[in-house]
Amino acid sequence: MLNSNQALNPSHVKRTVVVAAVAVVAVLAACGSMSGKTGPSFFVTSTGPGKGADLGGLAGADKHCQSLATAAGLGNRTWHAYLSQQATTTVPAVNAADRIGKGPWTNTKGVVVATDVAQLHGANNLSKATALTETGAVVNGRGDTPNMHDVLTGSQPNGSAIAGNVNTTCANWTSSGEGSAMLGHSDRTGLDDSVPAKSWNSSHMSRGCSADSLKATGGAGFFYCFAAD
């Protein structure tokens, strides 16, 4: 409790007000910082850019993730596409697993799909019910018409790029014609109960890179987007 001298001391009152104001600003700043890190942090694109597997490279794919997220009110995060890039004479290999931050990741319904990179590539919680689009819609899976569960990844099961001379990324996501891409099953369901058939990120190759080829394989040019921050 203040004594009579302190209560009547203008300088004391001024210092008290300043300290309180600084505390309020600090709290608001912290809240503002935290608000930029909350909300959904994973989704399957509801649509592709419209050129089959030609996504405009990794940069174009990231831009598409960000655009869809912004349209859905999720643009307060930094979104990256879960796509690998193969090494060429001009570009290095890029692993999808290295592009998406550390997690945890939740879908648009608030359900955690994975707590970290290790769980994402292990016993994660991805399924038809949880691999939702940025608007919260379920992606058509095996048995639905049309089936759209094939998701572009260009990756091995551990999220790394696929080495070798076989084109598994549709020319690093710049081709809508010749080539092929590694696909995952967003519904974790395939023709049988084998590990690849149930893989969310490394199930089988596409028939080509065009929109029609992806559709014939069982997809629509969708890919996964993760908040990297």
Positive or negative torsion for Cα 180, 185, 191, 197: positive
Q: Tell me, what's the pLDDT at 203?
A: 98
**Cα angle, residue 74 at apex, residues 72 and 80 outer, rounded to 5°:** 110
Whole-model pTM: value is: 0.84
CA distance 150 to 190: 10
CA distance 124 to 168: 24
pLDDT tens track for 74-126 = 989 999 999 999 999 999 999 999 999 999 999 999 999 999 999 999 999 99
CATH architecture label of 39-229: Roll (3.10)
Taking 90 as the threshold, does the pLDDT of residue 147 lie above it? Answer: yes
Please tell me whether the peptide bond between 146 and the residue prior to it is cis, using omega within 30 degrees of 0: yes
pLDDT tens track for 202-218 = 999 999 999 999 999 99
If residue 58 lies in a helix (H) or strand (E), which one and from where to where? helix 57-71
CA distance 120 to 137: 21
For the chain, domain boundaries: 4-35, 39-229
Percentage of the chain modeled with pLDDT above 90: 83
Residue pair 140/148 in contact (Cβ under 8 Å)? The answer is yes
Residue pair 112/132 in contact (Cβ under 8 Å)? The answer is no
Average pLDDT of the chain, as a whole number: 88
pLDDT tens track for 27-70 = 333 333 333 478 999 999 999 999 999 999 999 999 999 999 99
Taking 50 as the threshold, does the pLDDT of residue 71 lie above it? Answer: yes
pLDDT band per the 50, 70, 90 thresholds, residue 23:
very low
Tell how strand 182-185 and strand 150-152 pair up.
Answer: antiparallel
Q: Is 52 left (phi over 0), alpha (psi -120 to 50) or beta?
A: left
